[in-house]
Chain A
Amino acid sequence: MRYHGAMNPARRLSIVFALLLFALPGRGHAYIDPGAGSYLVQIVIAALVGSGFALKLYWKRIRDALHRPKSRDHDAG
């Protein structure tokens, strides 16, 4: 039975390869090496700065909304 359950090396390799393909983000026609470490670090940084960026966008929207009537007056004048 043990013998039966063992996978031949070629099959094992193809499964590992398939798993790798699913795990790796698609690369399109990427011709430069993005670097695994660089992927990881940008994901971490983006997670850290995401909420700050959201606040910044909301603040910008509020500011734009407050300033809009003024600029209309100016245009009209």
Chain B
Amino acid sequence: MGGDPLRLASSFRDPSGFLFSRDGVIYRQINSIYREDYDRLTESGLCRELVDAGLMIPHEEVDAPPADPETAYKIIRPEVVPFISYPYEWCFSGLKDAALATLEIQRCALERGMTLKDASAFNIQFIGGRPVLIDTLSFERYREGMPWAAYRQFCQHFLAPLALMARADARLGCLLGVYIDGVPLDLASALLPLRSRFSFRLLSHIHLHAAAQRRGAGSGKPVTARLSRFRLLALIDNLRGAVAACSWRPPKTAWSAYYEATTYAPEAFEHKRRTIGTFLDVLAPRSVWDMGANTGVFSRVAAAKGIPTVSLDGDRAAVEMNYLACRKEGERKILPLVMDLTNPSPSLGWAHRERMSLAARGPADAVMALALIHHVAIANNVPLAAAARYFRELGRGLIIEFVPKEDSNVQRMLATREDIFPDYTERRFEEAFGRHFTVEAREAVPGSRRAIYLMKRRAV
């Protein structure tokens, strides 16, 4: 209670309040300016309804000292988000589910006389496998006749990237990392194929919207027309249809990779699973990051032990399949994210402090890097010493598989290029990682020359 409050760098846009931490606990200060809306949120029953439906993060009002007493109305303590992820790291269906959740929240709000004043995808986090609104201050009183102030933001943060991923190229999801306030609609309009204009929803919400923005920006004329609540609900319903109509099927290559990962030599696969399980028991981590997780086959070993596991892979199709499988199985411990380990999420936003880099969100208690090191060291030319240094930054414990040059996968990589990796040997691997970790155990993978290591980070 007594420590100095530290205002979170990502929480500055909305004057209604801000997040701060004190003694490692995250609080949200609600400012006096937001008093009326906050009281309405609780008194209208909207807060309870959304929390009960799993659409909004639960919080409790606490008697903690405010970070800024002059502006403070109340202090609340929201439930802890296990791992902060960003829209540019979500797979297609993750972003789609977040969009549908946002629209459902807006529908519920309108029925209780409130409205979402923002529709930022960054206000959504995945908790227990479901998209949840984490910004309790996103609501304001609905005034009859008012259009939706967050309509443009919704289109930029959700509909435009989803339409681009579904209709142009799934890799365009990365645009959300380039444009921090969502994909500009004129850019989306230019990148979408011509046939998207034959969809009424995309024609209106993206193409005409982009054109109207250009005109609106130039005219300087205020809009006087009103929008009834019924029509506003119709608009929300139409947006819901637009989002639901966006679909993306991962390419077949990913499916074959999936079967390869789950069907190769059953005994070897079982042995690998058992080894990982044993190593996890030794580390007893509270968080696992499975780097290069593919479709999350081994993330499930950690999840089955009840460990919150972030399942990271650079292949959007694999992450999509992982996410869909988690959703189908009701798997609540795994968070599948798109992350290219050779170019991980950087710090972004104002002063590079709004959105955290991957490393800034760590270290994890345990990092798993299974069948990954050859992709890093050979496909991406990263020296083993540099790889070891980065893994040290990411995790306190490490379960890592060494894949030797003799392995057929590495041979395939080297088939079309010169072997410039004389140092890529198991001995050099042990030396490089031994500088940062202590090797606790080594287990050979039967039927191959691969080995799985259990390592613990050395004290500095």
Residues of A at the B interface (CB closer than 8 Å) are 20, 23-50, 52-54, 56
Interface of B is mostly: helix
Given known contacts A23-B222, A25-B146, A42-B235, A37 and B216 CB-to-CB distance under 8 angstroms: yes
C-alpha spacing A59/B215, complex, angstroms: 38
Given known contacts A23-B222, A40-B212, A46-B234, A35 and B146 CB-to-CB distance under 8 angstroms: no
Contact of B231 among A35, A39, A47, A56 (CB under 8 A): A47
B140 touches A28 (CB 8 A): yes
In the complex, 15 of the A-B residue pairs with CB atoms within 8 angstroms, ordered by the A residue number, are: A23-B222, A25-B145, A25-B223, A29-B140, A31-B118, A32-B13, A37-B209, A37-B212, A39-B147, A39-B223, A40-B212, A41-B204, A43-B225, A45-B205, A46-B235
C-alpha spacing A23/B155, complex, angstroms: 25
Chain B residues whose C-beta falls within 8 Å of the C-beta of A33 in the assembled complex: 152
Chain A residues whose C-beta falls within 8 Å of the C-beta of B149 in the assembled complex: 27, 30, 32, 34
Asked if B141 CB lies within 8 Å of chain A CBs, one says: yes
C-alpha spacing A29/B35, complex, angstroms: 11
B231 touches A26 (CB 8 A): no
Contact of A53 among B211, B217, B238 (CB under 8 A): B238
Given known contacts A25-B145, A29-B140, A42-B235, A36 and B230 CB-to-CB distance under 8 angstroms: no
Asked if B249 CB lies within 8 Å of chain A CBs, one says: no
B234 touches A38 (CB 8 A): no
Q: Across the interface, name the chain B residue whose C-beta is closest to A48.
A: B204
A36 touches B223 (CB 8 A): yes
Asked if B226 CB lies within 8 Å of chain A CBs, one says: yes
Nearest Cβ in chain A — how far from B455, in angstroms? 47
Interface of A is mostly: helix
Chain B residues whose C-beta falls within 8 Å of the C-beta of A52 in the assembled complex: 234
A34 touches B234 (CB 8 A): no
Q: Across the interface, name the chain B residue whose C-beta is closest to A26.
A: B143
B233 touches A53 (CB 8 A): yes
Q: Across the interface, name the chain B residue whose C-beta is closest to A22.
A: B224
Nearest Cβ in chain B — how far from A46, in angstroms? 4
Q: What mask results when residues 197 to 216 of chain B are scored 1 for a CB within 8 Å of chain A, else 0?
A: 00000001100110111111
B224 touches A32 (CB 8 A): no
C-alpha spacing A35/B211, complex, angstroms: 12
Asked if B108 CB lies within 8 Å of chain A CBs, one says: no
Contact of B217 among A20, A35, A48 (CB under 8 A): A35
9 A-B pairs with the lowest CB-CB distances in the bound complex, closest first: A37-B216, A53-B234, A36-B216, A37-B212, A38-B152, A46-B231, A37-B213, A34-B149, A41-B212
B213 touches A20 (CB 8 A): no
B227 touches A43 (CB 8 A): yes
Q: Across the interface, name the chain B residue whose C-beta is closest to A20.
A: B222
Interface centre among A28, A42, A48 (most CB of B within 10 A): A42
